[in-house]
Copies of this chain bind each other. A is one copy, B any other.
Amino acid sequence: MGSHFKERLYDPDSRLVGMFVKFPTIETMEIVASAGLDFVIVDMEHAPLGVETVFHMIAISERSGMAALVRLRGHDTATANTFLDAGASGILVPHCSPYETAKELITDMVFPPNGRRGSGGGGRATQWGIDGAGEYRRGGDSGVVRVPMIEDPEAVEDIDRILSIGGLDAAFIGQGDLGQTLGDRDKAQALVDRALAACVAKGIPACTTAYGGDVRARFEQGFKFLAIANDTGLFTRAVQQRLSMVQEQIEAAKGQAAKV
């Protein structure tokens, strides 16, 4: 009943595009799915989304054939595991560095004996228990993606060790935070390039943001999946554009009225 995201991500021919979503609604999720995007990243870090809302967003997204990945609020891997039990396709861990921290966090989301994820087999991910324990374990291993966000300079320093953590399935390279921290776009891009190169070398699918005309370039550079927009930004600009389009007409109409 899910979106088979991991499988699609590891298909050599695929190039996947998605969006960050912050509106707390299933309406927007269905619109994004119907429009044809491959995945959403539900942004708990920067939006005040509650767990029940995120759960509904995951359920409707996956039922619509679009993967729901969740960006955690902080390093809250307990909530991550609750969402994996609920059928999310994957988890993004913000500021997942240095290596020792990253190792702890990724391992929290892996089943024993290699990790510490608790067993809760009767949830949404197993069709509420209709699928058995074996399928639960299989899905938790090979049906989800655990994705560290590489968005601090120290993370790039540690990139090779981080990418070798067991259970890590992909990486998100956060050019926004790198740029803010370094205060220099070029230095940030150099770190992006370095992190990407490490991913490509190890065959780890990498993601970043591409909000403008840089989609083709990013794919050709080696990224495997891209966040091409965010919902609040798209909506804000659409409202602004519509209003600016009519503003002139309003003034013209007022002028006309004044003349009469």
In the complex where A25-B25, A215-B250, A233-B129 touch, is A243 in contact with B94 (Cβ < 8 A)?
A: no
In the complex where A82-B45, A82-B73, A249-B219 touch, is A34 in contact with B243 (Cβ < 8 A)?
A: no
Contact in complex: A151, B13 (CB < 8 Å): no
In the complex where A28-B23, A46-B122 touch, is A253 in contact with B77 (Cβ < 8 A)?
A: no
A14 nearest in chain B by CB position: B254
Select one of B47, B219, B243 contacting A35, CB under 8 A: B243
- Interface residues of A toward B: which range? 35 or more
Interface residues of A (CB under 8 A from B): 1, 13, 15, 17, 19, 22-28, 30-32, 34-37, 43-56, 59-60, 63-64, 72-79, 81-83, 85-86, 94-95, 111-113, 116, 118-120, 122-124, 127-130, 133, 137, 151-152, 176-177, 180-181, 183, 210, 213, 215-216, 219-220, 228-240, 242-243, 246, 249-250, 252-254, 256-258
